[in-house]
Structure 1
Amino acid sequence: MLDTWSLRVLAEVAERGSFSAAAEALTMTQPAVSRQIASLERRAGVRLFRRLPRGVVPTAAGVLAIDEARAILGRLAGLEARLGAFAQLRSGHVRLSAFPSANTEFVPAAIRRFSELYPGVEVGLVQAGPGELRTGAVDVALLTSWDEAGDDVDLVPLLDEDHRIALPSTHRLAGRTTVPLRELRGETWIEGSHPDCLGPLDVLEKTLGGPPRIGFTCDDWTGKQALVAAGMGVTIMSTLAASAVRPDVALRPTSPTLPRRRVLAAVLPPAVRTPAATAMLTVLTSLAAGYR
């Protein structure tokens, strides 16, 4: 099998027109270049150069071999340049996935900051879980402590978020600084999709004296708020999305306090993680510090 060094020697001899000139350009001896070309000719089974008193000229087979060698070396140089740009974050892509409440403000802010730092890297927001990290469908997956990520990924804690009760601004308890959960026993509750749902909040069921009465289930973040604002029920929202709450919806802490939830980033181990994924993780960690 031909190797890239042999191809480089072949191309250099053709460029310089002699073994001695090629040897000087390659920091080799003239006999070493001669042996390299002779070895190529033996493996090819055909003469590549005609030896002249002053230099060499390619044979017909040599012309073909030289053209192919130059093309191969050019493609390899292009590959090295592209990989270098990828490693130095001048190009490439990173795919991020997250849950709805994180997408209201936190994720867009992270994407904006990443794009400012690495304008040559394409950022995508996809629907995928941490289980798809190995397939390449996603590079960084945001999840919560309510999720299961699997054993083959790294989990990086980002922040801890609180939960609040979301009431219509006209609700009888909306003016309270803290809402006692026991006073919501007769309320209709609005459920959502995991993890932006009522969740495994045992304290809620314990205080209400039973499971909350679910009147509506809505996976859409905007739709949940609209139902609350219309007085159709109450729900629980995370403080991560507090800035995106409608003005006619009141967010209030509760008594007793609802459990906190940890937000994490799931990524592949460093040995197989892309440079862009590592850079996105750094951006997320830095941004999360402002939410603590």
Structure 2
Amino acid sequence: MTLDDLRVFVAVCRAGSLSAVARELACTQSAVSQHVKRLERETGVSLLERRPRGVVPTHAGRVLCDAAADGIAGLDSALRRLGDLVNGDSGTVRVTTGGTTVRHFMAEAVVAFRQRHPRVNLEFRTETSSRSCFDALAAGHLDLAWVTLGGPVRGIEQRRVVDLPWVLAVRTDDPLARRARVEVADLAGIRLIRLPQNSTSGARLDAAFTELGVRSSSDTSVADWDTALLLAELGLGHAVVPALPGRRVPDDDGPLRLIPVPGLPPLPVGWAVRRWDALSPLARTFADTVADSVADSVADSVADSVADPVADSVAASAPRRG
């Protein structure tokens, strides 16, 4: 049993496919299978169950996968910290997040961090959802994940940075565009541009609508907040999205109006890591830099809002480092 055997086995369990892991590792499916077979010979139990569309771990396989994943993540973290000790202030910080997150949440922080640590290598890996970010983080190849916070995830620690209030994006010629704020009841019956059902932000918004008794129709869905805003601008419907850093709320300029919806529970976003106490000093510094920048930027975005509950909720729910 080798470390490579365990790494490959964990990757297969997460991907649910031998061929997918073979493509990722640029090797043959037979080579991937040999790693699993070697583990099965040494443990004396079947670790994978073959299905028509891939594989799933058996009960014994899940036990080994969980233990191996925890051990590999800890080892990788230790090796990176040793590398930072050797390299001094020239290590690497590895971050995973959604496609538009760096622009909205990290732009100023990346510049500030680079100015203070010019020799540090920043690596960004794009994922399509918070769930994918959690999986990539648990795989042990990354330091930090910027996510929409959800329920507890085994082996992952989450830390809230800021709560984003929701806004309604409408064209300036829409009857709702003249409002200073939109009540939840006003959302009933609107044609909504939906966020992905598999996204944490989309699920939280749907849950809030259900709890508040809001019914809306939808014939358009998008993969990210920016696309929702673009389609709203094109007149394909209304978009309920978080108040993103750098955008004024309300927004009196341009073809869109962004109107606060203070009756919706805000969206918590922040960092996820395997273990905060195991983060390298450089990764912790980057996380703190982003947290400070985001808290300031979101507060500034709503500073001119005429809807005091929105501005107050952001100011009150923007924790700093700690």
Q: Bin the TM-score by the shorter chain.
A: 0.5 to 0.7
1:101/1:240 contact within 8 Å kept: no
Partners of 1:160 and 1:122 in 2: CA distance: 29
**Aligned 1:1-292 pairs, distance under 5 A:** 83-84=84-85, 86=87, 88-89=88-89, 91-100=90-99, 102-128=101-127, 129-145=133-149, 147-148=150-151, 150-193=153-196, 194-197=199-202, 199-205=204-210, 209-241=213-245, 243=247, 247-254=254-261, 257-290=263-296, 291=298, 292=318
Q: Which residue identity lines up with residue 111 of structure 1 in the other structure?
A: V
For 1:232, what is the secondary structure of its paired residue? Answer: coil
Q: Shift of residue 148 of structure 1?
A: 4.2
Counterpart Cα distance in 1 of 2:246 and 2:228: 14
CA, structure 1 residues 220+288, in 2 after alignment: closer, same or farther (shift >3 Å)?
closer
Aligned length: 207
Question: Unaligned regions of 5+ residues in structure 1, if any?
Answer: 1-80
Q: Structure 2 unaligned runs (5+)? A: 1-81, 128-132, 299-317
Q: What is the TM-score when the length of structure 2 is the normalising length?
A: 0.56
Kindly tell me: are residues 203 and 157 of structure 1, through their superposed partners in 2, closer, same or farther at Cα, counting changes over 3 Å? closer
Is the 1:132–1:138 contact (alpha carbons within 8 Å) kept by the matching residues of 2? yes
1:120 to 1:215, Cα distance in 2 relative to 1, 3 A: same
The verdict on how the C-alpha distance between 1:286 and 1:203 changes in structure 2, with shifts beyond 3 A counting, is closer
CA deviation after TM superposition for structure 1 residue 258, in Å: 0.9
Runs (4 or more) in structure 1 with deviation over 6 Å come to: none
Instruction: Identify if the C-alpha distance between structure 1 residues 286 and 220 changes in structure 2 by more than 3 Å, giving closer, same or farther.
Output: closer
SS at match of 1:95: strand
Task: Note if contact 2:168-2:240 (Cα within 8 Å) is conserved in structure 1.
Answer: yes
Aligned-residue Cα RMSD (Å) equals 2.8
Indicate the structure with greater helix content.
Answer: 2
Identity of aligned residues (%): 20
- 2:230 is paired with a residue whose SS is helix
Question: Does structure 2 conserve the Cα–Cα contact (< 8 Å) formed by 1:101 and 1:241?
Answer: no
What is the deviation of 1:214? Answer: 1.3
Deviations 1:95-145 (A, max 9, x none): 212235633321222222211111101112212412322433321101123
Does the CA contact (< 8 Å) of 1:139 and 1:267 recur in 2?
A: yes
Counterpart of 2:96, as a letter, is S
- How far 1:210 moved relative to its partner? 5.0
Q: In structure 1, what is the Cα distance between the partners aligned to 2:185 and 2:157? A: 40
